[in-house]
Amino acid sequence: MMNKPGATGLKRLANATQYSIKGLKAAFKHEEAFRQEVFLLPIILVLAIWLSKTGLEFALLFGSYWLVLMAELVNSGIEAVVDRIGLEKHPLSGQAKDIGSAIVMLAMVLTVVTWISVTVFR
């Protein structure tokens, strides 16, 4: 059992929200790929609204792209930790970064498959 000192209840929730916003700001400031994906977000939202015929279709279209943003955040976190540990080349560092990149790629493939499935195979 882990005993971590710190805030509880609503204070913990408020702190967690502040940390999350701080993380989003850092990703937007330092990660070009994340910025590009965020700039596409309004276009994706409009297209998802326009192309979906049901709430479920909208959730699939928009949610699959939202997953790309989440994957990009995971990838950025992995890269930051690896770079914090050291900038020298090491096979495990490269492997960790490659796996983080693969997470993003798989999310993008899922998005494409979802959009094709919802819009073409009705």
The residues assigned a catalytic role are 72
DSSP annotation of 1: -
For residue 65, give Cα distances in angstroms to 36, 79, 112, 119.
13, 21, 9, 15
Residues 6 or more apart from 34 whose CB is under 8 A from it? 27, 28, 69, 72, 73, 76
Write out the two tokens for 83. 């770079």
Assign residue 12 a region (left: φ > 0; alpha: ψ between -120 and 50; beta: otherwise).
Answer: alpha
